Amino acid sequence: MAVYHILVVHFPIALWLTAALFIFFRVFSNSELANRLQKAVWPLILLGSLAGFVAYALGLAIYPISAITASPLGRNHIMLATWTLSYWTVMGIIGYRYRRFLFDGAQRWATFLLTLIGTIVVAITGTLGGSLTGTPSLVTKSLGKIGWDVYMTFYLPTWMIWGFVFGAILLVVLGWIGHRSRA
Amino acid sequence: MRKGLLMSSVVIFGGLLVAAWMVHGTGVIKNDPEASISIPDELTSKLQVKASYDGENIWFRYRWPVERPSIFHDVLVYQDGEWVKQAGEEVGPSENFLTEDRVSMMIDDGSVPLFSRYGGYITIGEGLTTFTGVPETDEERTKYLPETRTDPGDFEAMKPESDLETLRKAGYFIDLWQWRSSRSNPNSVGDDGLVSAERSGDKGTGPYTTNWDKALNQPKVMFDPAIVPGGALNIDDVIGGVITQDDTYALTPAVAVPFDPTLAWKNGDTIPRRMLREVSGSRGDVVEPTVARWEDGFWDVTLVRKMDTGNTLDDKIFREGGSYDLAFAVFRNASTMRWHYVSLPTSLGLGQPAELQAVKFAGDEPAWDQPWYETTVFYPGQVSWPLLTNPEKHPGADKIAERVPVKFRHNPEQLAAYGVEIEFADQIKRQWFLTLLASLGLIAALGFNINLLMTRKES
């Protein structure tokens, strides 16, 4: 199953990163070409998510769940793959709903930041996959230099997990407040 | 207002990610002596090795960094009329430096399947002494080779004696050389042992024995008062590092005399709990050309043995043109048992291509002018062979079944990290899963937030 995962996983990576490239171009350009490319963003992202779901399922079928979740590198790859898939799916939905308005005024900088985060997450997920198959890259070593030894599980202390929970609640509340202000 | 909330939301999300990056991996890993857990401050170190031979003897020279040498092992301290044992075997490093420094070397000639690929990992069965949750037993549950058991994962499932003899005659054992800073070095010897159904010494007399007379409830010997005033050292001097290799610190036959209970013993008087003795037989094959010394932050140890000892059931025989496999372990910072640093397997060649090339010499002793072979040694944690070969517990079990060498997939730094994590496997897995759920919730909340806060001009 590993070979099929490796084969399929390059589709979402390519689709998401192409979408990111178009977004970055559009953020900095109002040219006709940038506007045309921007129209392809949400289809690219959601196609990437579709391929991502397939790659994710294939990935989980490579090793017994008990084995892959016993491996720090395996856990990290699952964690980052889950983040990547969910994050870009959310980005795809936002892209579908707002399309060209993603680049209106200050919103374009929010779009830029969110896309940048998504690109970083894709890159880390990919490099973890490479490390898992015995081919660590320069990204793997670079992560170690900035504070994360990828051969140790990425997990948060309990207080930080609560921070995430409260942060999630805060985001929902802020969204609701803003929505009501429009109404 | 909505634009402000949108930017604030993105900043909050990004801030949480940055905070998570800063604090990840904390809150779980901590020392727990009750659970036999002590994580070394340094997870890796270096060991340098050279090898030479002259056709009759083979010489190995080892050099490794030690900030403060530990030249004592367990000691007997006089306290209010009694001799009390202190230290020796402790969980993690001995705070008082009462656990000796050591180096050991496993040797195989190709007779033990998988040793060349996985080194000492194959000798780590399940439920060995000092593993978390393993109750203390009268006899130490030591390393063993998997084929000496009907079930390699069951320490108790020993094969019948006749089967073990057959395996031994076929060379199914690992030769194990050891050097001990307290229990062998002062007598200028090593300690020749092996790993088969258990880790044991070769036949013969080993370099030390216990300095305790059970019947009289007192030490057997003490220092000669003519050499060490009062017949004992002082515990504060021992612990404080005042006593060095330049002083008399070990009970060698030359300085030991029968214990005299009538001496005016005072609190703090200290006598080593081990007395050194002359080695004999196969156990005494490994010797030092001279007593090793610690200098400038390094131990520099040389061990010598006949290439062919004639003890084919205890020793691996070295031959010109031969290829061998080695695995090293270094005990530093006053630590013992599993709190050591181990190497991955290393090939040795006597006139053959290998990672460590033994250099042939003529004369009394090697010139040692070849470059050092340097290897990274690492803290191995509680990783057992039954775990590594179980596909339900180790994703690489199938690769082991295919005999893919450990070096192909792992490096010492990675294995050290895994060694630490395995000691907290359940807690880390739980925390990881909670992190996964919380982060998914955060991403979903971000999506919800942005969908509500972004605007369309025409709306």
Orientation angle between helical segments A72-98 and B425-453, nearest 10 degrees: 10
Q: Distance, in angstroms, between B386 CA and closest chain A CA?
A: 13
Q: Which of B26, B446, B457 sits opposite A104 (nearest CB)?
A: B457
- Cα within 13 Å of Cα(A151), Cβ side: 21
Q: Which of B413, B449, B456 sits opposite A175 (nearest CB)?
A: B449
Test mutation, B432, B433, B458, chain A, max A CBs within 10 A: B432
Helix/strand/coil (H, E, C) string of chain B? CHHHHHHHHHHHHHHHHHHHHHHCCCCCCCCEHHHCECCCCCCEEEEEEEEEECCCEEEEEEEEECCCCCCCCCEEEEECCEEEEECCCCCCCCCCCCCCCEEEEEEECCCCCCHHHHHHHHHCCCCCCCCCCCCCCCCCCCCCCHHHECCCCCCCCECCHHHHHHHHHCCCCEEEEEEECCCCHHHCECEEEEECCCEEECCEECCEEECCECCCCECCEEECCCCCHHHCEEHHHHHCCCCCCCCCCCECCCCEEECCCCCCCCCCEEEECEEECCCEEHHHCCECCCCCEEECCEEEEEEEEECCCCCCCCCCCCCCCCEEEEEEEEECCCCCCCCCEECCCEEEEECCCCCEEEEECCCCCCCCCCCCEEEEEECCCCCCHHHHCCCCCCCCHHHHHCCCCHHHHCCHHHHHHHHHHHHHHHHHHHHHHHHHHHHHHHHHHHHHHHHHHCCCCCC
Q: Distance, in angstroms, between B88 CA and closest chain A CA?
A: 32
DSSP state of A100: G
Q: Which of B28, B440, B449 sits opposite A82 (nearest CB)?
A: B440
Distances (CA, A) of A97 to B45, B142, B456: 55, 65, 10
pLDDT of residue B46: 98
Query: Which amino acid is residue A155, in one-letter code?
Result: Y
Does A168 sit within 8 Å of B24, measured CB to CB?
A: no
The fraction of chain B above a pLDDT of 70, given in percent, is 99
What is the residue-averaged pLDDT of chain B? 95
Residue A96 parent element (H or E): helix A72-98
Q: Which of B17, B432, B444 sits opposite A153 (nearest CB)?
A: B432
Q: Which of A71, A106, A161 sits opposite B395 (nearest CB)?
A: A71
Q: Which of B359, B337, B315, B268 is nearest to B37 (CA)?
A: B337
d(CA B356, CA B377): 15
Chain B residues whose beta carbon lies within 8 Å of the beta carbon of residue A94? 447, 450-451, 454
The tokens describing B171, both together, are: 């060379």
DSSP state of A156: -
The tokens describing A149, both together, are: 């030894």
Does A172 sit within 8 Å of B2, measured CB to CB?
A: no
Q: Distance, in angstroms, between B13 CA and closest chain A CA?
A: 8
In the predicted model, what is the mean pLDDT of residues B317-336?
A: 95
Q: Is the pLDDT of residue B458 over 60?
A: no
Using one digit for the tens of pLDDT, what is the confidence trace for A118-147?
999 999 999 998 888 878 888 888 898 999
Does A171 sit within 8 Å of B445, measured CB to CB?
A: yes
Does B2 sit within 8 Å of A182, measured CB to CB?
A: yes
Chain B residues whose beta carbon lies within 8 Å of the beta carbon of residue A83? 439-440, 443
The tokens describing B187, both together, are: 């007598």
pLDDT of residue B139: 83
How many CB pairs below 8 Å do chains A and B form together? 210
B222 or A110, higher pLDDT: B222
Cα dihedral A66→A70→A76→A78 (10° resolution): 0
Using one digit for the tens of pLDDT, what is the confidence trace for A149-160?
999 999 999 999
Confidence of residue A182 (pLDDT cuts 50, 70, 90): low
In degrees rounded to 5, what are phi and psi of residue B384?
A: -110, 160
**Which residue in chain A has the smallest CA separation from B389?**
A67
pLDDT of residue B15: 94
For chain B, how big is the Rg over CA atoms in Å? 27
**Which residue in chain A has the smallest CA separation from B425?**
A70
pLDDT of residue B400: 96
d(CA A88, CA A90): 5
Q: Which of B328, B424, B334 is nearest to B36 (CA)?
A: B424
Does B19 sit within 8 Å of A70, measured CB to CB?
A: no
Orientation angle between helical segments B412-421 and A72-98, nearest 10 degrees: 90
Confidence of residue B3 (pLDDT cuts 50, 70, 90): confident
Q: Is the pLDDT of residue B398 over 70?
A: yes
Q: Distance, in angstroms, between B145 CA and closest chain A CA?
A: 24
Test mutation, A115, A171, A172, chain B, max B CBs within 10 A: A171
- Cα within 13 Å of Cα(A101), Cβ side: 14
Orientation angle between helical segments A2-28 and A41-60, nearest 10 degrees: 160
d(CA B175, CA B108): 6
Beta-sheet pairing, B102-108 with B323-331: antiparallel
Confidence of residue B392 (pLDDT cuts 50, 70, 90): very high
Test mutation, A90, A155, A172, chain B, max B CBs within 10 A: A155
Using one digit for the tens of pLDDT, what is the confidence trace for B128-187?
988 998 888 878 899 999 999 999 999 999 999 999 999 999 999 999 999 999 999 999
Q: Is the pLDDT of residue B459 over 50?
A: no
Using one digit for the tens of pLDDT, what is the confidence trace for B8-53?
998 999 999 999 999 999 999 999 988 999 999 999 999 999 999 9
Confidence of residue B56 (pLDDT cuts 50, 70, 90): very high
Does A105 sit within 8 Å of B432, measured CB to CB?
A: no
Does A98 sit within 8 Å of B27, measured CB to CB?
A: no
Confidence of residue B91 (pLDDT cuts 50, 70, 90): confident
The tokens describing B114, both together, are: 């998988």
**Which residue in chain B has the smallest CA separation from A117?**
B14
In degrees rounded to 5, what are phi and psi of residue B378?
A: -145, 155
Cα dihedral B321→B177→B335→B126 (10° resolution): 90
**Which residue in chain B has the smallest CA separation from A133?**
B409
- Cα within 13 Å of Cα(B235), Cβ side: 19
Neighbours of A155 (CB within 10 A): 28
**Which residue in chain B has the smallest CA separation from A121?**
B17
Q: Are A92 and B448 in contact (CB under 8 A)?
A: no
Neighbours of B290 (CB within 10 A): 9
**CB neighbour class for B415 (10 Å; exposed up to 12, middle 13-18, buried from 19):** buried
Q: Is the pLDDT of residue B281 over 90?
A: yes
CA angle, residues B65, B67, B71, in degrees to nearest 5: 95
Chain B residues whose beta carbon lies within 8 Å of the beta carbon of residue A87? 443
Chain B residues whose beta carbon lies within 8 Å of the beta carbon of residue A97? 451, 454
Confidence of residue A183 (pLDDT cuts 50, 70, 90): low
d(CA B422, CA B155): 20
Does A171 sit within 8 Å of B10, measured CB to CB?
A: no
- For chain A, the structural domain boundaries read 2-152, 156-183
Q: Are B29 and B39 in contact (CB under 8 A)?
A: yes
Phi-psi region at A121: left, alpha or beta (left = phi > 0; alpha = psi -120 to 50):
alpha
Q: Is the pLDDT of residue B385 over 80?
A: yes
pLDDT of residue B6: 87
d(CA B431, CA B422): 14
pLDDT of residue B69: 96
What is the side-by-side strand order in the sheet with B82-86? B82-86, B75-79, B269-272, B233-234
In degrees rounded to 5, what are phi and psi of residue B53?
A: -150, 155
Helix, strand, coil percentages, rounded to 5, for chain A: 80, 0, 20
Q: Is the pLDDT of residue B303 over 50?
A: yes
**Which residue in chain A has the smallest CA separation from B423?**
A70
Q: Is the pLDDT of residue B259 over 90?
A: yes
Q: Are B303 and B64 in contact (CB under 8 A)?
A: no
Confidence of residue B88 (pLDDT cuts 50, 70, 90): low
Q: Which of B25, B408, B439 sits opposite A83 (nearest CB)?
A: B439
**Which residue in chain A has the smallest CA separation from B24?**
A156
Q: Is the pLDDT of residue B456 over 80?
A: no
Q: Distance, in angstroms, between B326 CA and closest chain A CA?
A: 24
Q: Are B274 and B77 in contact (CB under 8 A)?
A: no
For chain A, how big is the Rg over CA atoms in Å? 18
Does B431 sit within 8 Å of A157, measured CB to CB?
A: yes
